[in-house]
A and B are shown apart, each in its own frame.
Chain A
Amino acid sequence: MARALLVGAVLVLLVLPLAIGPYPLRVATVIFMWAALAGSWNLLAGYAGAVDLGPVVYHGIGAFLTAAGMLKLGLPFLVAVALGGAVAMAIAYAVGGPTLRLRGAYFAIGTLALAESAKQLALAWDRLTGIPLTGGSAGVSLPLATGYLVFYYVMLAVMTAVTAAAFWLRGSRFGYGLRAVGENDRLAEASGVDIHRLKRRVYVGSALAIAVTGGTAGYWLSYINAAEVFGASITFQMVVMTLLGGIGTPLGPVLGATFLTLVSEFLGTRFVYHYLIAIGVIIVAISLFAPAGLAGLLDLARRRRQVAA
């Protein structure tokens, strides 16, 4: 039943561009993008309990490698973005080895430092290596895309894949192992779970999703610079959306991304200067009164209905 509903929702989203104008289409793409990013973060933080404060590293890597593939190698966008994703996975595999051995707050601080270092390295890359890639602080301009639909569909595909992965984690062998790690990593290890291998797989998988999203966003905006695509604000938005929507739930990131994007659009057009204050108040209110997030509220409503019925 729930599965049919979700498949139906994806089918509707597949044909949605036929029915709506350019502005709603743009908003939908923004929602998918954030749902994909937040959903990737949720896989590691919500299931394996590893709070990564540097996922934006792979966003930046994806953006610059996609740009380089298109500009330097003349590759079509989809090939360039796939290549960027593959390289991001290789980097994540190497980086995940040592960093995923850090626990709790040390992992969070370590990955945060990693992201800031990556940003500085990207800013200095061209000067240091002599290989033009990031354009230093001036950034890189990409060719303008001819159509808009490719962004909509790539973002939809990544969001769907990440959400499907989260659903799969709920009832699969891998998912049980990962949730055991998130709940009590020492006990998981003592029960035979190779905790580093499991966490590394998720880390590498989410790096792929984040890099593809970053590469797509860069081409969409047609201009990227290191300070922005490696910016900590992207990480924090992923975290906030996941917490708002409900961490450790498959649909939480989608709910959080939808809610926060729509609220920003609505308030941003009416209260251009003060909308961030309002968003801050909303986030604080939800954290105080619904600590399990929007998904938790939905759950509560459903259970109330069942009790009433």
Chain B
Amino acid sequence: MSLLEVRGVTRRFGALVAVNAVDFALEEGEILAIIGPNGAGKSTLFNLIAGLDRPSAGGVLYRGRPIAGLGPDAVCRLGIAKTFQIPQLFPRLTVAENVLVGALYGRGAGLAAARREAREWLAFVGLADKAELPAETLSVPERRRADLARVLGTGASLVLLDENMAGLNQKEVEAAVALLRQVRERGRTLMVTEHIMRAILGLADRVVVLNYGEKIAEGRPDAVMRDPAVVKAYLGEAYG
């Protein structure tokens, strides 16, 4: 059984079809990248999986169980958690408490275990020295890592990363890619959207390409990048 199955998922906003009958599956331990030009429907798709939005049609199965229509809290407790495109925090809680909330409620950990895990995940993402600071004092790259630590703290088996590397410089991107590989080594399955192609090529096992809400290609990263439909979606028609 696939970890996640997306079956004919459609989301309409009035006349706009943001996601149109998209199908794909995700296996345990995989890193799947969802790419596509701006407005292709990547974030909408992520929100549909994470329970932040409901599909207009189609279904989402997690470990064979239908989850479309559940609230984000229920989806999180089942084992799917997402970082946000604009990194989100509990601004006046400490950085450690931000992660603690995920462990307490996402994973249902007790207070002592949750505190310990919060420390561990902050060390894992390299924010151990910021643990006791109010989260609002973090810089944007740090916020992205804190958001990731919170998601890992929820114990999610499936981690959705919505442009978690946006705004990072080249060195930071390399560090982020290495970090995400370690996340996979810890038994998590990852689904990422990213605009930074270098990061995608180095990280993903498989790529799904969206354009205007439809899946136009799927496969190994190098093969997908050469796909004429993908090139056209990104660069437009050649002059001729």
Q: Which residues of A contact B (CB under 8 A)?
A: 172-173, 176-177, 179-180, 183-184, 186-195
Contact = CB atoms under 8 A, between A and B. Distances in A.
A184 B89 contact: yes
B111 A195 contact: no
Contacts, number: 76
A190 B52 contact: yes
Interface in B37-89: 50, 52, 71-73, 76-77, 81-82, 84, 88-89
Interface stretch (B19-27, B93-101, B180-188): B93-101
B104 A173 contact: yes
B102 interface: yes
Query: What 4 A-B pairs come out closest when comparing CB atoms?
Result: A192-B106, A192-B105, A183-B90, A192-B76
Given A173-B111, A189-B73, A193-B105, A184 B82 contact: no
B167 interface: no
Contact of B88 (A187, A192, A193, A195): A187
Given A176-B97, A177-B104, A192-B102, 10 more contacts: A187-B84, A187-B88, A188-B101, A189-B71, A190-B76, A191-B154, A192-B76, A192-B81, A192-B108, A194-B105
Contacts of A190: 50, 52, 72-73, 76, 81-82, 84, 88
A184 B105 contact: no
A194 B84 CA distance: 19
Contacts of A179: 90, 93
A179 B89 CA distance: 12
Contact of B150 (A176, A191, A195): A191
Given A190-B52, A190-B81, A176 B88 contact: no
Contacts of B92: 183
A177 B108 CA distance: 12
A186 B72 CA distance: 9
Contacts of B81: 190-192
B105 A187 contact: no
Nearest to A184: B90
A261 B14 CA distance: 55
A186 B93 CA distance: 15
A192 B114 CA distance: 14
10 contacts: A173-B114, A176-B104, A184-B90, A187-B88, A188-B90, A190-B73, A190-B84, A191-B105, A191-B150, A192-B106
Contacts of B106: 191-192
A180 B93 contact: yes
B91 interface: yes
Contacts of B93: 176, 179-180, 183
Contacts of A193: 73, 101, 105
A176 B76 contact: no
A265 to B, nearest CB: 35
A187 B90 contact: yes
B111 A191 contact: no
Contact of A192 (B77, B84, B89, B111): B77
B111 A172 contact: yes
Given A173-B111, A179-B90, A183-B93, A194 B104 contact: no
B101 A177 contact: yes
Contact of A180 (B84, B90, B108): B90
Given A177-B104, A189-B73, A184 B88 contact: yes
Nearest to A190: B72
A186 to B, nearest CB: 7
Contacts of A173: 104, 110-111, 114
A180 B100 CA distance: 10
A180 B99 CA distance: 11
B194 to A, nearest CB: 20
B90 A195 contact: no
Contacts of A180: 90, 93, 101, 105
A177 B105 contact: yes
A156 B82 CA distance: 46
A193 B106 CA distance: 7
Nearest to B83: A190
A191 B76 contact: yes
B73 A176 contact: no
B50, B71, B108, B114 — which one has the most chain A CB atoms within 10 A of its CB?
A: B71
